[in-house]
C-alpha cells in the first residue's frame, strides 16, 4: 500500500499542476486544480477551498516520522484570500499585497499554483501521501487538525526574541542567518514600494478616464465654431483614453510579473528564516542537553548522555538537510527572480511599443486636423 502510494505521489508531474479556475461564492473561493501524471496518461481535476490548503500545509508540517522535516524550507502558503469589500479594502491590501490585486484573483491563483508546484517538486515533501490525496481525491480532505494558529504565533515571537541572538556553531549558518534577516526586510520594503507605484499608476489610469469622459462631454455640435473645438476635444479624449488603457496594461504587467516575483521572494525569505529559526531552536536544545550532561548527577548521567546523543544526531541531520535546502534555494530563487524580471521587461517593452505606435498615429492625425 505504502509503496504504491509512494509511487503515485511521485507520479504527479509537478509542473503540470495548474489552477485552471476560481469561483467566488459570497466570501468563499473555490479553486479548480488540474494535474497530470508523470507519464502524461491521465489528468485529474479537483476543487479545493483555502481551508483545504491550510489542511495540506499542516499535514506537511506534522509528519512525525520524518525528523529532517525541520530542516526543510517549506514553500510559503499565501495568506487567506479575503474578498475585498470597500471597507476592508485597505486591510486586505496590507495583508495580501500584490495578491489581492488583479482581475478575479488571477495573481492569487498564480501564487497558489506556484505553491503547489513547489511542494510537489520538493524531494521530501512530495513523498507525503496527503499531497496525493489533495491533488486527486474528489472528496474534500479532512478538517483542520487544530487551531494552534494564534497562540503558536505569540509564543513563537517571544521565543524568537530570546533565541535569535544565539550564536551558531557553524560559520555557514551564522552568516546565512544574518543575511536572511537583512535581506528579508529589504525585500519586504521593495515589495511594498513597488506596490505603491502600481497603485499610483492605477489611480492615474482612473484620473485619465475621468478626464477623457469630461472631454467627451464638451462636444457641442450646435454652433459652427464649436464644431472645430469639439473635434479637438474628441481627439484629445481618444488620446487620453489610450493613455488610460496604457496605464492599466502597464500596471497589470507590473503586478503579474515583478510584483508577484518580489512578493514570492519575500515570503520565501520568511520561510527560510523560519527554517533557520527552527534549527536554532534545536541548537539551543542541544546546548542545553550538553550542559545537562555536564551538570548531571551520576545516576542521571547515562540518560542525559542518551538525550544528548539523540539531540546531536537530530541536529546534525537537520543541519545537513538545511544546508542542502539553502543551497538549492539559492539556486532556484535566482532563477525564479530572473524569470520574473525577464518576463516583466518583455511585457513592458511590448506594451510600450504598442502604445508608441498608437500615439504616433494620433500625432499624425492631430497634425492633419485642420482648424
Instruction: Return the closest-CA partner of residue 130 out of 39, 53, 72.
Output: 53
371 binding other proteins? (CB under 8 A): yes
Q: Which of 79, 124, 278, 362 binds other proteins (CB under 8 A)?
A: 362
Which of 26, 167, 225, 297 binds other proteins (CB under 8 A)? It is 225
Applying the rule CB under 8 A, the residues between 321 and 340 that interact with other proteins are 330, 334, 337-338
Instruction: Give the CA-trace dihedral at 151, 266, 349, 110, to 10 degrees.
Output: -40
Do residues 230 and 221 lie in contact, with contact meaning Cβ atoms separated by under 8 Å?
yes
Task: Assess contact for 308 and 290: CB atoms under 8 A.
Answer: yes
Candidates 319, 316, 317, 310; CA nearest to 289 is: 310
Q: Which three cell numbers stand for residue 69?
A: 522535516
Q: Label the pairing between strands 43-49 and 28-36.
A: antiparallel
Contact letters for other proteins, residues 150-179 (x by CB under 8 A): -----------------------------x
Q: Does the protein bind other proteins through residue 90 (CB under 8 A)? A: no
Q: Find, among 141, 147, 136, the residue nearest to 50 by Cα.
A: 141
Binds other proteins by CB under 8 A, chosen from 7, 170, 196, 294 = 196
Q: Choose the binding region for other proteins from 76-84, 137-145, 303-311, 360-368 (rule: CB under 8 A).
A: 360-368
CB of 75 to other proteins, least distance (A): 20
Starting at the edge strand found earlier in the chain, the sheet holding 28-36 runs 18-25, 28-36, 43-49
CA 306 to each of CA 266, 284, 286, 289, 362: distance values in angstroms, whole numbers, following the listed order: 40, 17, 12, 10, 81
Contact string (CB under 8 A) for other proteins, positions 230-269, x = contact: --x---x--x------------------------------
| By CB under 8 A, residue 284 contacts other proteins | no
Which residues sit at the interface with other proteins, rule CB under 8 A?
179, 182-183, 186-187, 189-190, 193-194, 196-197, 200-201, 203-204, 207-208, 210-211, 214-215, 217-218, 220, 223-225, 228-229, 232, 236, 239, 330, 334, 337-338, 341, 362-363, 366-367, 371
Amino acid at each position: 500500500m505504502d509503496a504504491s502510494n509512494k509511487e503515485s505521489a511521485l507520479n504527479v508531474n509537478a509542473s503540470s499542476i495548474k489552477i485552471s479556475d476560481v469561483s467566488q461564492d459570497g466570501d468563499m473561493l473555490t479553486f479548480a486544480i488540474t494535474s497530470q501524471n508523470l507519464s502524461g496518461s491521465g489528468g485529474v481535476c479537483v476543487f479545493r477551498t483555502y481551508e483545504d490548503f491550510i489542511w495540506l500545509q499542516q499535514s506537511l508540517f506534522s509528519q512525525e516520522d520524518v525528523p529532517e522535516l525541520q530542516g526543510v524550507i517549506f514553500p510559503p502558503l499565501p495568506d487567506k484570500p479575503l474578498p475585498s469589500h470597500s471597507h476592508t479594502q485597505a486591510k486586505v491590501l496590507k495583508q495580501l499585497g500584490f495578491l489581492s490585486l488583479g482581475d478575479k484573483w488571477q495573481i492569487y491563483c498564480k501564487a497558489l499554483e506556484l505553491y503547489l508546484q513547489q511542494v510537489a517538486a520538493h524531494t521530501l515533501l512530495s513523498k507525503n501521501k496527503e499531497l496525493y490525496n489533495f491533488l486527486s481525491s474528489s472528496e474534500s480532505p479532512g478538517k483542520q487538525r487544530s487551531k494552534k494558529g494564534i497562540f503558536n504565533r505569540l509564543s513563537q515571537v517571544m521565543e524568537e526574541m530570546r533565541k535569535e541572538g544565539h550564536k551558531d556553531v557553524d560559520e555557514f549558518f551564522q552568516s546565512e542567518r544574518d543575511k536572511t534577516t537583512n535581506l528579508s526586510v529589504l525585500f519586504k520594503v521593495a515589495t511594498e514600494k513597488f506596490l505603491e507605484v502600481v497603485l499610483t499608476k492605477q489611480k492615474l489610469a482612473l484620473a485619465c478616464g475621468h478626464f477623457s469622459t469630461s472631454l467627451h462631454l464638451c462636444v457641442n455640435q450646435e454652433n459652427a465654431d464649436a464644431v472645430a473645438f469639439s473635434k479637438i476635444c474628441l481627439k484629445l479624449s481618444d488620446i487620453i483614453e489610450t493613455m488610460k488603457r496604457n496605464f492599466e496594461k502597464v500596471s497589470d504587467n507590473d503586478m503579474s510579473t515583478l510584483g508577484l516575483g518580489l512578493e514570492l521572494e519575500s515570503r520565501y525569505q520568511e520561510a527560510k528564516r523560519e527554517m533557520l529559526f527552527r534549527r536554532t531552536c534545536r541548537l539551543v536544545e542541544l546546548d542545553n542537553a550538553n550542559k545537562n550532561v555536564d551538570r548531571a548527577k551520576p545516576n542521571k548521567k547515562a540518560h542525559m548522555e542518551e538525550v544528548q546523543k539523540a539531540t546531536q544526531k537530530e541536529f546534525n541531520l537537520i543541519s545537513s538537510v538545511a544546508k542542502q535546502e539553502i543551497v538549492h534555494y539559492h539556486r532556484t530563487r535566482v532563477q525564479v527572480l530572473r524569470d520574473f524580471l525577464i518576463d516583466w521587461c518583455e511585457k513592458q517593452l511590448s506594451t510600450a511599443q504598442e502604445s508608441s505606435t498608437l500615439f504616433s498615429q494620433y500625432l499624425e492625425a492631430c497634425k492633419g486636423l485642420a482648424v
